Each structure stands twice: as C-alpha cells, then as structure tokens.
Structure 1
C-alpha cells in the first residue's frame, strides 16, 4: 500500500499530461467498451447454437446463417474498433511525449549553472530522450491495455453472471490471487527498475564523454580502459534487466496459468456434480471460452506492471529535474544604460569548505576598461561568471548601473551583459545563425561584424557564403576562427558591458591588433572587462586588478603597478623575457640544436 501511495502522485502527474487529449481518449475508451461487448457476445451466440440448435439435432439453415453472420460481424466490429482506438491512443501518446520533452528541456535550460558543474551531461540527455520514450509506452501500452482489459473483464463478468451465477462465482476466485501477485511484483520490481534506468543513464553519459574526448583517448591509448568501463556499465544494465525478466518469468505467466487451471478444475467439478440439464454444455463451453479469454487480459494487466514501473521511475527522474530550483532572476526590467560596475566585498565558494574569491571590491565607471590578471586558479573567470549572474553570491553585492545584480531580470542581464569565452560554443548551423543566435539582425550588420573580426574574407570563400552550415562544434573552423566568430556575435549588437575571458588567446598577433582597434572603437558605448594572460594586451586598461588565490593583491594602472614592482611587475617581466626568447629562437632557428649523442 505504501508503494502505491508513493507512486500515485507521479502517476497522477503523468496522466495529467493527457488532459489536452481528453476527447480522443474518451472516444477511444468508448470504442474499447463497445469492442469488448462485441467480443463477449460471440461465445454467447455459440452457446445458444450448442444448447438450442445442436442439442435438438436440427440445423435450420436460417438460424445457422443468422448466428454465423452475427458472429462474424461482431468479430469484424471488435477488430475495427481496436484498430481505431489504437490510433487514437498513439496520437495522444506522441503528443504527450512531445509536450513532456518540451517541459523537461525547458527545465534543463533553466537550471542554475552550478547544477551543470556536478550533473553529467549524459544523465540529462537520458532524461530528455530515454525516460520520455518510456512514458510514451505508458500511454500506448499501459493505459490502453489496462482500459481494454478492464472493459473486456467487465463485459465477461456481466456475461458470465447472466449465464450461470455459480460458475461465475468460481471464475472470479482468480482475481484475489492475481492482485496478490501484482502487489508482490510491484514490491520487488521497483528498486530493480530504478537501477535499470540509472545504469542506462550511466551508459549514455559514458558514450557522451567518450565521443567528446575521443582525441585524448586515442592520443593516450586509453581505448581499452574506456572500453572496459563501458562494458562494465553495459553488463550492470544487462544483469539488472535480467533480474526483471526472471521476476516476470516467475511471478507473471506461470502463476497465472496455475490459477487458471485451478479455476477450470472447479468449473468442471461443478458441471460434473450438478444435476443433469441444470448447466448446459453450451454454457460450459462459454465459461471455458471466457476463462481462456480472461487469461489474456489478466496476463496483459500483469505484464504491464513492468512497463508501468519503468514509466513511474522515469517519471520520478523527469519530475525530479523539473522540480529543482531554477536559475533565479529579479524583476527589474529597466535596460542598462551606463554600464558602470560596483563590486562590494564579494566572496564566493563553489563548495562550502573552500572559498574561490575572498572580499573582492572593484569599481568600474561607465565606458571604463578593467583587466583581471593572475595565475591559473586565481579566480578571474569566477569573477566574470559572477558578473554574468551565473552564480549566487556567498557574500557581498554586485551592482550594475547602481542596481543590485540579483534584482535585474533575465532579459536585462542577457541584453546588457555579454561574454566571449576562450572556448566558445559553435552551433551546427549557418554562419548567419551562429552570429545572430535568433536575434533579428540584417545580413549587412552581420557582414560588418565579420569584417571587424577579420572573418569576412574566409566566409566569402565558403560555398554558400554567410549561409554556409558549419560542422558539429564548428569542426571546420580553427580554434582562433571560433573565437573570432564568438567575437562577431557580440560586436553585431554591442552590449553595455562586455567581458572577454581570454578571447584572443588563440588568435595571431595581426588579427589581435585589428580586434584591439575594434574594441577601442566600441569603448565609446561599452564597458570592458578583460581577462588576459598576455599582459601586453591590457596595458591600456584604466584599472588592472591582480588576483592571487582568490584575493585582490594589487590594483592600479599598468604604469602604477610596474612602479610598485610587486606581483604584476614580476608577471610582466617574466612574459617580456619569454617573448624575447621566443623571438630570438624564431630569428635564429640554429639556437635549437639536437642534443649530443
């Protein structure tokens, strides 16, 4: 009972998705009941034929023809109605899965970014694809089968009690035993089915990781290790699936066949010990026929237990994702106008036991240019993510245009603040679609942005120009070209605040200089926040904030920081020496000699 009570909210919520298809489902149910009545009437006609025609030793042609025609028409009617109700149920099921997938995907898109830091991508894919497909089976097979079985069982019970109440009473003794088996099956199958769904999600996650990292796996010859890992996951799924099959094989059909045999023995005993003529041979035939037909819906009802359990577990996984806390935004819809930034005593931690940023304060005036520098892991990208509103602050406050960042709406943040990352995402769409990203921007504006980032000539040489479709993850572009494309996305509709997270790391010096000139131009209307390892690119910054282990250790202009001869000075000197060594080796390749044998 507790299992049913726990599963009922999930089942109720899944069935609620069928409410938009109420009319076709009601029509399908009516068809099921009419079809069940037609199926049940067939044995009644045969019973009448045996007891009232064959028993008298006469075969009137008219009555025989009428009974045969009626029997055939009933079977044709039942078959036709089953066909049309199956179409209605499948149409509703496809619609339900479509709506459910849209809701699941929408919920996944609205998850806080912190969830994606710990949630494997394959798990999300499994919930959107595999789990929703299992729920389709809930409507196509479980709901339709249960309704059909209930209709058929109900019609047969009415027919049996109308023929002989004593034999009908013996026949219904099978139901308590069946319900007991169903309860036992549900108790033991639910945890196994949960493991099956979990192992399937692990398989999807593993395949996603292997495909994305195929280059690294082959480079370091890890095919065997990853193959063994996927083999273990597959065997775990196989073993769990075999457990469900063994459970079904033991509890479902064999036990039901045993119960049916016992009921049949009871019917034969009642017929044998009854007074001659009190129970006709035709009635006995009808009951034997009904018992055989009763087996079919009971077996179907019990076999649907497995699919129902899988659907409930899939529903639990889907609704667990949909019910998670979504990314929170404020309600302030006023657009950003100045682009000024105030960071007041901000601290942040991805995990409660380790702070990534500690007591960071920074003020960037409207149209200002601030640079964030520091060694890897110092917290530069984390601060940029906080400015984007991706994570809630642990302590302190960030204000944009003098308004708390947490109070700004999603539209205001995404319209007013943009970021170009070191490893940009490129969609398997056209160049135009990758630059506009759904925004209503004319082609001329896209071409101007491509000219600015030095990509226009490359795009003109594409077979279809700006409408050429790029490969998966932009695999027909170099890493630097991807960064330029991401830069064009921003420049085509400049925001109030632009964050560059190592956005020129993979670009040659000539193109970088062109982009620097473009950034100088848009500084007239945009506040710049630049994260850079190459310090030569941020010497013109109004303010340079030096981060070390999550703390702001220095702040000032390029000239001021060099005069202090602190951490920034050391970083700059090291890069100068490195650049000189690289330049010297380029001018004189003989400096790179083979080691002596």
Structure 2
C-alpha cells in the first residue's frame, strides 16, 4: 500500500504541467462532454422508437424520418467533436512533453561532472527519451481516456436513473468492486513496473556501450559475452512484462466482465419480480445498450492503470534528476580575467568525505603568460588538479586564486570565457567545420580562416568540398586524429583565452602535428598562460616550469635544465629506456 500512496505526489506534480493550458483543456473538456452526451442520446431515440412506434404499430413516416435524422445527426456530431477533443488533448500532451524534456535536459547540462561519472550515459538517455514518452502517453492516452469515459459513465448513469431508477441501483452496486480492483491492481503492479523501467534503462545503456565499443568488442572476440548479457537483461525485462500481463489478465478485463454478467443477472431477477408492464421493452433495450456502453468505458479506464503506473515510475526517475543538485556554485565577480596569474595555496582535495585524499597541500604560483608543464604517473592527481583549475570541483581545503581573486568568487561566464582546455580526446560535433570552430558564437568567416592558418589546417580545408562548410561526421570520423586535435585547438584560439590548459593533448598525435601545436603554443604564449599535462619530453622541454606530482604531492619543480641537473625523479623519467 505504501507504493500506491507514494505514487500520487508524483502524479500530482506531472499534472501541474498542464496548468499552463487551462483554456485549451476547458474547451477540450466541454467538447468532450457534448460529444459524450450526443453519444448517449442514441439508445433513448431507439427506446422511444420501440415503445411508441414499433410495439404500438403506429408507423408514422414523418416521426420515423425525424427520429432517423436525429439519430444520424447525433452520431455524426459526436464523431466530429470526439475528433476535435482528441486533437486538442494531443496538442497539450506534446507541449507538456516538450516543456518537460527541455527542463530535464537543461538540468542535465548544468550538472556537476561527478553526476556523469556516477550515472551511466545510456540510463540518462533512456530517461530523457523513453520515460518522457511514457509521460506523453499519460497525457494523450490515459487522461483523455479517463476524462472521456468518466463523463460517459456519469451521463449513462444519470440517463439510466431517468429511464428506470431500480435498474440504476443494480448498476451502482458494482462501482465499489471496481474501485477495489483498481486499488488492488496498483498495489501489485507498481513494484513490478519500477523493475521493468530499470531493466529497460539497463538494456539501453548496454546497447550504448556496445555500439561505442564495437571495435574493442570485435578485436577481443567479446561478441558472445555481450550477447549473453543482453539476453540475460532482456529476459529479466520480459519476465517483468509477463508479470504485468498476468496481473492485467487477472484483475482487469475478465474480472470486470464477470461483474457486468452479474449485473445482467440482477436485471433478469428484477424483471421476474417486477409487476407486469412496469418495465417496458424499450427500457430493457436502453438498459442493455447502456450496460454494454458502460462495460467498455469501465474496462478501458481499468486497463489504463498499467500506463498510469508506468508514468508514475517514469515521473519519479525524471524528477530525481530535475531535483538533484545543480552545477558547481560560482561567485558574483564579473570582472574578466586580465593577466592569467594563478596562485594555488595549501590545496587538498578528496572526491568523497570519507574517501582518500587525491591532492595533499598543493602550493604553486604560476606567473602570467608563462608555460607550465605538469607531469607524473597515472593516479598522481594531474587531472584532478586541472579540474580544480577549471572550476569543476571545489578544493576540500585551501584556495585557488586567479588574478589574485578567489576562483570560487568568479562567476560562470568569467571562468568559461577566460579558461579553456584542450583534452586528449577532442570532441567533434556533427556539423560543418565552421560550426565546430565557432560553436554558436557570432564569429566572422575571416577570423575562422585566420585561426585555421595558425593551426596549419588552411590548405587542407581549402581542398575540401564546400571548404569550411564541409560537414563532419559523428565524432569527426572523416578527419584524422591529428586534424581533430588541431580543430579543437582552433576553436579555442579564436576566443583568445587568458589561460589555456592542454590535458594530454599530444598523446595520440604524430610528430608533425605535435610540432604544429608547439609552434602555435609559442605564438599565443605571449598573451596566454599555458598549462600542459604531457608525457612526451618534446612537448614540455621548453616550458618555463615543470611540476612533478607523485601520490597527490608536488615532489619537484624547476625547468628542464635544473631538474636534469638535480638528477631526481624527473631525471630518472627522462632516462627510462
């Protein structure tokens, strides 16, 4: 019962999104009521025909034509109005889902990096796509079905009371039973549906991993292992789906149909014990007709419970992301970075409160427009230090100063416009070369060509069809690794950053491309502070200062000549064969 009660706040919150469309909902609901009323008029007309014309053998052609005309008119109008209300409700559903997707995607874009490390990408994609589609079904299928059939049931019941109140009382006795069936269905279905959504997200995540890692999977002959795993989680999803179908079959249509059969038996008993001529043939026809019409709406409402529960579970997953903590907090200092001076004072950091320390009491002064290299073995804390400088994380203890101002005091635009990073694996988006360089910013074509000359991509791009309007594939697969890295550097150089960080940017490129990058760095070093993480000596040998990290601590600093002369850790790293 706890699961059942827990779902209603989520459903209530989902329904709040429709409050922006009150006018459209009111119009759609009014049309729906009129359509339902017209639909219910048909049996009354037929009942009148049976009682006053057929059984009395009074075949007045004019009255028959009028009844026929009214019957056809009500049915045609009902059909047209039902079409209009479906269009209106579907329009609301699409707008609500668009709003919900924008909200959840906006939240995801503002999340801390830690969020993406803890959440599998496939599961996030599943929530944004599959779960929002289920919410769409809530609006354009479940709610419209419940609205329409509830109105229909109310009109039918009120009409039955007018035609024959005793028969109406017999019908009313089954409603408490149906409510009990629906509550029972929710109690048993919610936990299973929750599992089903998790299994579906796991399937999506696994497919995402397989597609992204297909080259590695084939290289190491892992096809069978992944196929077995997919079969396993698909089987789990299948089993939960079957469980839901079994609950549907046991608690919905068959059971409700049985209730209607019992109501029909009650009608027969009423007919047997009623005085002669108190119940007319027309009334019996109308009652049986309404009973059939009542049967389907009730079954339809009950069968919507499955989608309703899926929507509640999907809503819980969506709101879990929306309500999660947003991006790293930034300050209110709006003054742009001027010099690029960096001072790191007594900085220590750990990802979790009770986790191990990654950095230990780091102290480092980086002069404006200097060239600094940070090296160390894997796990020494290089990338963590860079993430702190980028503002992705906040030091556990100590402070970082940019231009003698606390990094935590700088606002988001100041940091993002003043500090840029080139990563080991450059990110290339589907789009033109120009779009990948400008990234939506208003930058002239001339400036784009100028920066392409700096990174020596000018002649290569001139040779392409459509030149800078040449469209790149997903991940830039129609470029070489070196060209992608140079393109990622071009998009940063065009913005003229005050601080530039290169995180293993030369690790996967050839010697020629590395020399181009070195030449480019030498040109911009006059106005930009450059911090490089690299293993290649050729990349860092000309740097002003080399910082060596070991187990999260600075163990050596100095330029190349000084460190070689000291014959310490750096010396040993340079002479490893």
Common topology (TM > 0.5): yes
- Does the Cα contact within 8 Å between 1:111 and 1:325 map onto a contact in 2? yes
Q: How does 1:121-140 map to 2 (within 5 A)?
A: 121-140=121-140
1:20-73 deviation digits (Å, cap 9, x = unpaired): 322222111111100111111111111112222222122211111111111111
How far has the Cα of 1:145 moved from its partner? 0.3
For residues 208 and 355 of structure 2, the distance between their equivalents in structure 1, rounded to whole angstroms, comes to 31
Q: Which moved more, 1:136-145 or 1:451-460?
A: 451-460
Match of 1:234, SS state, is: helix
Asked if 1:334 is matched to 2:340, the reply is no
For residues 250 and 409 of structure 2, the distance between their equivalents in structure 1, rounded to whole angstroms, comes to 60
1:462 is matched with which residue: 421, 442, 464?
464
Asked if 1:431 is matched to 2:433, the reply is yes
Aligned to 1:452: 454
Asked if 1:349 is matched to 2:375, the reply is no
1:121-164 deviation digits (Å, cap 9, x = unpaired): 00000011000111110111111001001110111111111112
For residues 444 and 87 of structure 1, the distance between their equivalents in structure 2, rounded to whole angstroms, comes to 49
Q: How does 1:173-322 map to 2 (within 5 A)?
A: 173-322=173-322
For residues 392 and 376 of structure 1, the distance between their equivalents in structure 2, rounded to whole angstroms, comes to 22
How far has the Cα of 1:19 moved from its partner? 2.4
Q: Which moved more, 1:212-221 or 1:226-235?
A: 226-235
- Does the Cα contact within 8 Å between 1:453 and 1:511 map onto a contact in 2? no
Q: How does 1:72-221 map to 2 (within 5 A)?
A: 72-221=72-221
For residues 427 and 535 of structure 2, the distance between their equivalents in structure 1, rounded to whole angstroms, comes to 21
Match of 2:431, SS state, is: coil
How far has the Cα of 1:354 moved from its partner? 1.9
Match of 2:59, SS state, is: coil
> Where does structure 1 lack aligned partners over 5 or more consecutive residues?
579-597
For residues 287 and 326 of structure 1, the distance between their equivalents in structure 2, rounded to whole angstroms, comes to 59
Measured on the aligned residues, the alpha-carbon RMSD in Å equals 1.3
Aligned to 1:359: 361
Aligned to 1:442: 444
Q: Which moved more, 1:471-480 or 1:514-523?
A: 514-523
Match of 2:336, SS state, is: coil
For residues 170 and 11 of structure 2, the distance between their equivalents in structure 1, rounded to whole angstroms, comes to 33
Aligned residues: 575
For residues 77 and 8 of structure 2, the distance between their equivalents in structure 1, rounded to whole angstroms, comes to 35
For residues 282 and 467 of structure 1, the distance between their equivalents in structure 2, rounded to whole angstroms, comes to 76
Normalising by structure 1, we get a TM-score of 0.94
For residues 20 and 182 of structure 1, the distance between their equivalents in structure 2, rounded to whole angstroms, comes to 30
For residues 359 and 238 of structure 1, the distance between their equivalents in structure 2, rounded to whole angstroms, comes to 53
How far has the Cα of 1:536 moved from its partner? 2.8
Match of 1:32, SS state, is: helix
> Where does structure 2 lack aligned partners over 5 or more consecutive residues?
none
- Does the Cα contact within 8 Å between 2:380 and 2:551 map onto a contact in 1? yes
Q: Which moved more, 1:135-144 or 1:554-563?
A: 554-563
Match of 2:472, SS state, is: coil
For residues 564 and 31 of structure 1, the distance between their equivalents in structure 2, rounded to whole angstroms, comes to 87
Q: Which moved more, 1:316-325 or 1:448-457?
A: 448-457
- Does the Cα contact within 8 Å between 1:271 and 1:284 map onto a contact in 2? no
For residues 85 and 116 of structure 2, the distance between their equivalents in structure 1, rounded to whole angstroms, comes to 42
1:66-104 deviation digits (Å, cap 9, x = unpaired): 111111111111111111111111111111111111111
Match of 2:549, SS state, is: strand
Q: Which moved more, 1:416-425 or 1:552-561?
A: 552-561
1:234-267 deviation digits (Å, cap 9, x = unpaired): 1111111111111101110000011001111111
How far has the Cα of 1:397 moved from its partner? 1.5
Match of 1:529, SS state, is: strand
- Does the Cα contact within 8 Å between 1:31 and 1:81 map onto a contact in 2? yes
Aligned to 2:555: 553
- Does the Cα contact within 8 Å between 2:39 and 2:75 map onto a contact in 1? yes
- Does the Cα contact within 8 Å between 1:454 and 1:511 map onto a contact in 2? no
How far has the Cα of 1:4 moved from its partner? 4.8
Q: How does 1:365-376 map to 2 (within 5 A)?
A: 365-376=367-378
